Amino acid sequence: MTMVGARILMEDCRVLSVNEAQRLERVQAAAEHTLERSGLRRLLDMPATLWRASHD
């Protein structure tokens, strides 16, 4: 257990002081925003022929 200022920050190797789901949402939103601003979103689209070409 890790305590700072009478507050438990970590227990059993788990960080308790950070809302992980909230952080992941914010990071995902920032990534989406960055892709839109940079014009690179198209690079994430899978080409229609990607798998078909490998099975011919």
For 6-17, letters b (16+ CB in 10 Å) and e give eeeeeeeeeeee
Write the pLDDT tens digit of every residue in 3-49: 999 999 999 988 888 998 999 999 999 999 999 999 999 888 888 78
Number of H helices, E strands in the chain: 2, 3
- Do the Cβ atoms of 54 and 47 come closer than 8 Å? no
1: which 2 tokens?
């257990």
Q: Provide the pLDDT for residue 22.
A: 95
**Whole-prediction pTM value?**
0.57
Beta strand pairing call for 7-11 and 14-15: antiparallel
Residue 54 has pLDDT above 70, yes or no: no
